[in-house]
């Protein structure tokens, strides 16, 4: 009997890939017909010095997400070009853990869809493919393209042929926002491909728009917010021409869709570097452009104090986000951002009272004014209003040293104390404890704490007893 040794090479039959897996029909063509022709591309790039080979950079496959690697290899094995693109390459070069791993390829959405059984094409004009993995993980795969929907609105209105949308990797790099975001990691030889000068900007610590900043920002003003975001996250300098274009075009941000701008600044508020973000936003004039409701206070007599308090509050928020991110909700983040504008608002100051009262209605109106034109979920804005409104009762209780249940039993009480302490620290005032109602002050009668007031018959009985005691 003939013994057959089963080796890797046996598995590489017709219609099977490198790993011996069956491949879809369109991959069974001759290699020359495959869409990815990598060799000439490599040669030309090598000449132009666009490739940074593996020994000259620090990206290791160990740091790449397992599922993203799977997608990259499957695309490569099917004969396509597959690059890791965008923020993940930037973050790994900076030695940080990327938030998400996006993949760029020359395979068309239908081809990608056929390679990955658990995938779906999303989007109308620029169709992306979402590849699904166990545990709900999604890897986004997009075909290299020439321009974005923001770059060419005229074209977006017309039905263009696919060949007009999709482009080469070089075109894909140049439609991106910043040079540090335009780098590719090639899974074929573990090199980095740099068409836009991102590597040298990363080394020098520079945030620079790709192409002419003025033109790119006018096409999509959200790119100005993105430049400020990455400068504050990395601590990089914004390159002078890019900075000048941001200052000159800050007010163009109002041309963008309101929910899109809101999502962008909310992302910055919870980035953990919101204080340096706010500083850059202020300096560039973007803060007033994004929040027109801040203007009256910023231009008022106490504008300087407001800015000072805002930066201190955001520093505290960043600290809290670093230590207990899961407990800091969007409502508290909004309250931190809004607090200085409440604090210096004369109408708000008039609401201070000697009675325990929550001016929630007034807080909701002021919040609406400050954050106009942005909308939030009702629950978020209601809770943010309650946290802000609770600052008066918390102040009164801390002064009196007594904490009635109707104050501490509120769902937002913990957030109220966090905001109160941040505001106190920003003014150099003493802070209170995290759970002030649980600590017993010296001299207070422990037995009476938390006792319910007698009601109905018992109350009448208690009153009669009191009267008797007084008479005797
Ligand atoms: P993050 O760490 O927040 O995910 P990111 O740079 O990866 O940062 P994404 O929103 O995930 O940001 O975008 C992925 C990539 O898409 C970016 O790196 C950039 O190259 C490109 N991009 C995103 N928005 C724009 C835009 N408005 N114009 C041009 N390119 C953009
Ligand atoms: Mg990203």
| Segment 55-66, tens digit of pLDDT | 999 999 999 999
Q: What is the whole-number distance in angstroms between the Cα of residue 448 and the centre of ligand 1? A: 59
Q: How confident is the model at residue 37 (pLDDT cuts 50, 70, 90)?
A: very low
The 8 Å CB, 24+ separation contacts for 412-415 are 412/331, 412/383, 412/386, 412/387, 414/327, 415/329, 415/331, 415/332, 415/335, 415/383, 415/387
To the nearest whole number, what is the mean pLDDT of the chain? 85
Return the pLDDT at 454: 62
Whose alpha carbon is nearest atom 27 of ligand 1?
223
Nearest ligand 1 atom to alpha carbon 223: 27
Q: In the predicted model, is pLDDT for residue 38 greater than 90?
A: no
222 CB near ligand 1 (under 6 Å): yes
Running DSSP on this structure, what letter comes out for residue 137? -
- Least confident residue range of 1-5, 311-315, 372-376, 458-462: 1-5
From 85, 145, 177, give the residue whose CB has the most ligand 1 atoms within 8 Å, as the site to mutate.
177
156 in Cβ contact with 125 (< 8 Å) = yes
Nearest ligand 1 atom to alpha carbon 220: 27
The catalytic residue positions are 100, 102, 177
Nearest ligand 1 atom to alpha carbon 102: 14
Q: What is the whole-number distance in angstroms between the Cα of residue 424 and the centre of ligand 1? A: 38
Whose alpha carbon is nearest atom 12 of ligand 1?
87
Would you mind telling me the total number of residues written for the chain in this entry? Answer: 472
Return the pLDDT at 161: 53
CA distance 470 to 393: 34
Q: In the predicted model, is pLDDT for residue 78 greater than 60?
A: yes
Domains located in the chain, CATH noted? 13-204 (3.30.460.10), 205-290 (1.10.110.30), 301-434 (no CATH)
- Least confident residue range of 312-321, 336-345, 373-382, 393-402: 393-402
54 in Cβ contact with 189 (< 8 Å) = yes
Q: In the predicted model, is pLDDT for residue 152 greater than 60?
A: no
Q: In the predicted model, is pLDDT for residue 14 greater than 60?
A: no
Q: What is the whole-number distance in angstroms between the Cα of residue 165 and the centre of ligand 1? A: 19
181 CB near ligand 1 (under 6 Å): yes
């Amino acid at each position: 009997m003939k013994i057959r040794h089963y080796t890797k090479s046996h598995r590489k039959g017709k219609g099977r890939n490198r790993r011996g897996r069956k491949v879809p029909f369109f991959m069974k063509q001759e290699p020359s017909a495959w869409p990815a022709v990598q060799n000439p591309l490599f040669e030309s790039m090598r000449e132009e010095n666009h490739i940074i080979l593996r020994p000259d950079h620090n990206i290791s496959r160990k740091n790449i997400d397992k599922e993203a690697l799977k997608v990259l290899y499957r695309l490569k094995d099917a004969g396509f070009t597959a690059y890791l693109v965008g923020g993940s390459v930037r973050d790994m070069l900076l030695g940080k853990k990327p938030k998400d791993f996006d993949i760029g390829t020359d395979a068309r959405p239908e081809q990608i869809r056929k390679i990955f059984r658990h995938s779906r094409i999303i989007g109308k004009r620029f169709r992306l493919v979402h590849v699904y993995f166990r545990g709900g993980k999604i890897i986004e795969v997009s075909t290299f393209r020439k321009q974005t929907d923001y770059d060419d609105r005229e074209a977006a209105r017309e039905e263009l042929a696919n060949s007009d949308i999709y482009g080469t990797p070089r075109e894909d790099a140049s439609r991106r926002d910043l040079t540090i975001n335009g780098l590719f990691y090639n899974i074929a030889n573990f090199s980095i491909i740099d068409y836009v000068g991102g590597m040298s900007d990363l080394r020098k610590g520079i945030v620079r728009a790709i192409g002419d900043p003025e033109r790119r920002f006018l096409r999509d003003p959200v790119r100005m917010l993105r430049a400020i975001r990455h400068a504050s996250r990395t601590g990089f300098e914004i390159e002078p021409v890019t900075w000048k274009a941001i200052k000159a075009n800050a007010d163009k941000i109002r041309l963008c869709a309101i929910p899109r701008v809101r999502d962008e600044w909310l992302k910055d508020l919870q980035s953990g570097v919101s204080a340096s973000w706010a500083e850059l936003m202020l300096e560039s004039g973007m803060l007033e452009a994004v929040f027109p409701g801040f203007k009256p206070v910023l231009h008022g007599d106490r504008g300087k104090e407001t800015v000072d308090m805002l930066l201190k509050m955001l520093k505290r928020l960043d600290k809290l986000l670093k230590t207990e991110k899961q407990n800091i909700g969007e409502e508290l983040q909004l309250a931190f951002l809004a607090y200085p504008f409440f604090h210096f608002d004369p109408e708000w100051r008039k609401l201070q009272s000697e009675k325990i009262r929550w001016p929630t209605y007034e807080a909701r109106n002021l919040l609406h004014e400050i954050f106009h034109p942005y909308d939030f979920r009702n629950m978020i804005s209601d809770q943010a209003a309650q946290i802000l409104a609770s600052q008066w009762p918390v102040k009164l209780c801390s002064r009196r040293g007594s904490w009635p249940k109707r104050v501490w039993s509120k769902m937002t009480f913990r957030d109220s104390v966090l905001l109160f302490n941040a505001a106190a620290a920003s003014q150099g005032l003493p802070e209170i404890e995290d759970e002030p109602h649980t600590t017993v002050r010296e001299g207070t009668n422990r037995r009476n704490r938390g006792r319910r007031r007698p009601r109905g018959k018992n109350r009448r009985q208690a009153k009669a007893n009191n009267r008797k005691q007084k008479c005797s």
